[in-house]
C-alpha cells in the first residue's frame, strides 16, 4: 500500500527548493508570537488557550493542510505530469494512500509540532493545554489532509475551495450558525482534545462519539473516493 | 547526390530566392499606450472571468454577490424598521467582510500573473512595444480596479438604499465619501501585496495559499496580540501593533482620519500623530509593492 518512490517524489514536490522555507515561516511566526505573548502577559491559561485555539488550530492547521493536501497531487494533475506516474504499474489507491501519508506527515510536522512548542512556551503545558491542542492538531491534520487531497483530485481550483471551506465555513458560518459546527473538522478534533485534556478551557459543540465516527468516516471515504477519482482521471486541458 | 554547383555570386536583385509577395504593414500603429490600455482592460475583465470560461466566472461572481448581499439586507432592514441610521458604517463594511476580500485577492492575483510566468509568456508581452513598467502598471491598476469594484459596489448599495430610506443626505454623503477613500486605499494595498506574492511563484495553487496565509495569519496574529495588550491594560501598544497587518493598517488610517470607529480591541484607534505613521506605512507599502514588482519583472521579462 505504501510506495517509497512515490513518497520521495511527493516530499520533493512539497518541500523542494524554497517551498519548505515558506511552509516553515508560518510555524516560526506562531512560535515568535507565543514568545512575545509570554513576555507581555506572562503564563496565563486562558490566553494560551485563546492563542492556540484561535491562531494555531483555527487558522494555521487548515492553511498548512490545504498547502500540503492539495500540493501533494494538484500541481501534478495541473501540468499533466501525473500521466507518467499513472502509467507505472502501481495501483491508483496505492498512489493516493502514499500521497496521503506524506501530506499527513507534512501537515503534522509543520502544524502540530509548533503547536506543542508554542503551548510549552505559553504556559508550560499547564492544565494539559499544550498537549490537548497538539492532539487536536494531529487529529485534524489527518482529516484535513484526506479531504484536501480529495479536492486536489476533483477540481482544478482545489486550493480556493479548500480555503473557502476552512475560512468561510468553519470560521465565519461556524461562528454565526451553530449547526455548521457539527460539520467542522476543527470541532471534531476539539472534541477529542476535550476528552484528553479534561479541563474546562477547551470545549466542543460535538460529542466525542459523533466526532470520532465522523472523523474516521470522512478520512476513509475521502481517501477511497480520491482513489476512485484517480482511477478514472481525465486530464482537462487548460481552461 | 548533391551536384557541386560552382558558387556564383549573383549581383543586384538576384539575391532573392523567392518573392512570395509579402508586403510590409503600412496601416496605423497603435503604439505603447494602446497596448497598455488593452492589457489593463483584458486583465480587469479577466479578474471577473469575463472573456474566460464559464467555470472561471463562477468564483469571482459568487464572491461579488456574497459581498453585496449583506448590504442589500441591511438596507432592507433599515427601510423596514424606519431606522435613523444604517446598521453598519460605510467605513466598517470592508473590515467586516475582509474574509471575502482576501479570498478574492488570493484567487485573482495569481490568475492574473502566475500563468504568464508558468507558461513563459511574459517575454511575448515585452515583444510588443511595452516596457516592464507598462506591464506592472497595467496589472497593478487592473487588480486594484477590480478590488475597488468589489468593495465599492456594496457601499453604493448602502448609499442608494440610505437615500431611498430618506436618511440625512449630508450625513450619508459624507460617510459614503469617506468609505470610498478607505476602500480605494484598501484596494491599492491588497492588490499590491497579492501581486507581489503571486509574481514570486509560477504555481497558481501555491500562490493562492500564500496570499491567504499572509492576509489572514497576519490579521489573526495582530488581533490576538492587540486583545492581549488590551487585557493587560497596555493600551498605548495597541495602535503600534496594528501596523503589522494590512487590514488593521487600513482600519487605523480610517479611524484616525476618516471618522471611522476603530475595530481594534477596546475600540482604541491611533491618535492623529500615530495616524500619520499609519498613512506613511500604508503608502510606503504600496510603493514598495510596486518597486518589488518592477524588480521582479526586470528579471523575468528577459
A215 belongs to a structural domain: yes
Q: What does the pLDDT read at residue B3?
A: 52
Summarised one tens digit per residue, pLDDT across range A52-63 is 888 888 888 988
User: Could you tell me the sign of the dihedral formed by the alpha carbons of A199, A200, A204, A207, in that order?
Assistant: positive
B49 belongs to a structural domain: yes
For residues A183-189, average pLDDT: 85
Q: From chain A, which residues contact B within 8 Å (Cβ)?
A: 19, 22, 26, 29, 33, 36-37, 40-41, 47, 50-51, 54-55, 58-60, 63, 66-67, 70-71, 74-75, 78, 157-160, 163-164, 167-168, 171-172, 239
A238 belongs to a structural domain: no
Summarised one tens digit per residue, pLDDT across range B73-95 is 988 888 888 877 888 888 888 88
Whether pLDDT at B12 is above 70: no
**Percentage of the residues of chain B whose pLDDT score is greater than 90:** 35
Summarised one tens digit per residue, pLDDT across range B114-173 is 888 888 888 888 888 888 899 999 999 999 999 999 999 999 999 999 888 888 888 889
B3 belongs to a structural domain: no
Within 8 A of B202 by CB-CB distance, chain A residues are: none
Number of domains, chain B: 1
A239 belongs to a structural domain: no
A205 belongs to a structural domain: yes
Number of domains, chain A: 1
Whether pLDDT at A22 is above 50: yes
Whether pLDDT at A41 is above 80: no
Q: Which domain holds residue B85?
A: 32-300
For residues A10-16, average pLDDT: 85
Classify the complex by whether its ipTM is higher than 0.90, answering yes or no.
no
Of A47, A67, A164, the CB nearest to B228: A47
Backbone angles phi, psi at B110, to 5 degrees: -65, -35
Of B55, B103, B228, the CB nearest to A163: B103
Is the distance from CB of B59 to CB of A157 less than 8 angstroms? yes
A91 belongs to a structural domain: yes
Summarised one tens digit per residue, pLDDT across range A146-168 is 999 999 888 878 888 888 888 77
Q: What does the pLDDT read at residue A239?
A: 46
Count the helix, strand and coil residues of chain B and give each as a percent rounded to the nearest 5: 75, 0, 25
Is the distance from CB of A52 to CB of A140 less than 8 angstroms? no
B15 belongs to a structural domain: no
User: Could you tell me the sign of the dihedral formed by the alpha carbons of A123, A124, A126, A129, in that order?
Assistant: positive
Q: What does the pLDDT read at residue B268?
A: 72
| CA–CA separation, A116 and B202 (whole Å) | 33
Assign A237 a pLDDT band (cuts: 50, 70, 90).
low
Whether pLDDT at B9 is above 60: no
| CA–CA separation, A188 and B84 (whole Å) | 44
Query: How many Å is the Cα radius of gyration of chain A?
Result: 18
Task: Return the higher-pLDDT residue of B179 and B84.
Answer: B179
Summarised one tens digit per residue, pLDDT across range B158-176 is 999 988 888 888 888 999 9
Contact at CB, A75 and B205, closer than 8 angstroms: yes
Q: Which of B104, B118, B216 to mutate to test the interface with A (most CBs of A within 10 A)?
A: B216
> Nearest CA to CA, how far is B53 from chain A (Å)?
6
A187 belongs to a structural domain: yes
Task: Return the higher-pLDDT residue of A103 and B234.
Answer: A103
For residues A85-112, average pLDDT: 90
Whether pLDDT at A131 is above 70: yes
B147 belongs to a structural domain: yes
According to the 3-state scheme, what is the secondary structure of B43-65?
HHHHHCCCCCCHHHHHHHHHHHH
Q: Which domain holds residue A115?
A: 4-231
Whether pLDDT at B245 is above 80: yes
Of A22, A50, A239, the CB nearest to B210: A22
B19 belongs to a structural domain: no
**Percentage of the residues of chain A whose pLDDT score is greater than 90:** 18
B1 belongs to a structural domain: no
Q: What does the pLDDT read at residue B1?
A: 45
Amino acid at each position: 500500500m505504501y510506495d517509497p518512490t512515490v513518497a520521495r517524489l511527493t516530499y520533493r514536490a512539497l518541500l523542494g527548493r524554497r517551498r519548505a522555507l515558506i511552509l516553515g515561516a508560518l510555524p516560526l511566526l506562531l512560535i515568535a508570537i507565543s514568545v512575545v505573548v509570554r513576555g507581555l502577559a506572562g503564563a496565563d491559561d486562558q490566553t494560551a488557550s485563546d492563542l492556540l485555539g484561535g491562531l494555531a488550530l483555527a487558522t494555521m492547521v487548515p492553511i498548512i493542510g490545504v498547502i500540503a493536501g492539495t500540493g501533494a497531487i494538484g500541481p501534478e494533475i495541473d501540468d499533466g505530469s501525473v500521466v507518467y506516474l499513472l502509467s507505472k504499474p502501481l495501483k491508483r489507491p496505492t498512489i493516493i494512500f502514499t500521497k496521503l501519508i506524506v501530506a499527513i506527515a507534512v501537515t503534522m510536522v509543520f502544524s502540530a509540532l509548533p503547536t506543542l512548542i508554542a503551548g510549552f512556551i505559553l504556559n508550560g503545558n499547564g492544565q494539559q493545554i499544550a498537549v490537548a491542542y497538539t492532539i487536536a492538531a494531529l487529529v485534524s491534520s489527518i482529516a484535513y489532509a484526506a479531504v484536501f487531497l480529495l479536492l486536489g483530485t476533483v477540481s482544478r481550483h482545489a486550493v480556493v475551495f479548500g480555503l473557502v471551506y476552512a475560512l468561510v465555513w468553519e470560521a465565519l458560518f461556524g461562528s454565526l450558525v451553530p449547526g455548521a459546527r457539527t460539520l467542522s473538522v476543527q470541532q471534531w478534533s476539539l472534541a477529542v482534545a476535550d476528552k484528553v485534556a479534561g479541563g474546562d478551557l477547551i470545549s466542543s459543540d460535538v460529542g466525542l462519539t459523533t466526532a470520532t465516527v465522523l472523523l474516521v468516516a470522512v478520512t476513509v471515504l475521502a481517501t477511497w473516493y480520491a482513489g476512485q477519482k484517480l482511477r478514472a482521471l481525465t486530464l482537462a486541458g487548460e481552461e | 547526390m548533391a551536384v557541386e554547383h560552382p558558387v556564383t555570386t549573383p549581383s543586384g536583385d538576384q539575391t532573392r530566392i523567392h518573392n512570395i509577395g509579402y508586403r510590409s504593414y503600412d496601416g496605423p500603429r497603435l503604439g505603447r499606450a494602446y497596448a497598455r490600455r488593452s492589457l489593463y482592460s483584458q486583465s480587469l475583465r479577466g479578474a471577473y472571468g469575463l472573456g474566460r470560461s464559464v467555470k472561471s466566472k463562477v468564483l469571482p461572481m459568487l464572491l461579488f454577490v456574497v459581498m453585496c448581499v449583506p448590504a442589500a439586507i441591511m438596507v432592507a432592514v433599515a427601510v423596514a424598521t424606519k431606522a435613523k441610521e444604517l446598521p453598519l458604517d460605510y467605513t466598517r463594511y470592508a473590515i467586516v467582510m475582509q474574509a471575502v476580500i482576501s479570498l478574492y485577492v488570493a484567487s485573482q492575483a495569481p490568475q492574473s500573473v502566475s500563468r504568464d510566468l508558468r507558461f513563459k509568456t511574459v517575454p511575448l508581452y515585452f515583444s510588443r512595444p511595452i516596457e516592464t513598467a507598462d506591464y506592472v502598471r497595467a496589472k497593478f491598476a487592473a487588480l486594484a480596479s477590480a478590488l475597488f469594484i468589489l468593495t465599492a459596489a456594496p457601499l453604493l448599495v448602502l448609499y442608494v438604499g440610505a437615500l431611498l430610506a430618506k436618511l440625512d443626505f449630508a450625513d450619508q454623503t459624507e460617510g459614503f465619501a469617506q468609505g470610498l477613500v478607505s476602500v480605494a486605499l484598501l484596494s491599492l494595498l491588497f492588490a499590491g501585496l497579492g501581486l507581489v506574492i503571486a509574481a514570486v511563484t509560477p504555481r497558481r495553487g501555491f500562490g493562492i495559499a500564500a496570499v491567504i496565509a499572509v492576509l489572514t495569519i497576519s490579521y489573526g496574529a495582530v488581533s490576538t496580540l492587540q486583545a492581549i495588550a488590551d487585557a493587560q491594560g497596555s493600551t498605548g501598544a495597541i495602535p503600534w501593533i496594528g501596523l503589522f497587518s494590512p487590514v488593521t493598517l487600513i482600519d487605523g488610517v480610517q479611524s484616525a482620519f476618516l471618522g471611522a470607529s476603530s475595530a481594534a480591541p477596546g475600540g482604541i484607534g491611533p491618535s492623529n500623530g500615530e495616524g500619520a505613521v499609519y498613512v506613511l506605512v500604508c503608502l510606503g507599502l504600496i510603493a514598495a509593492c510596486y518597486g518589488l514588482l518592477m524588480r521582479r519583472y526586470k528579471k523575468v521579462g528577459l
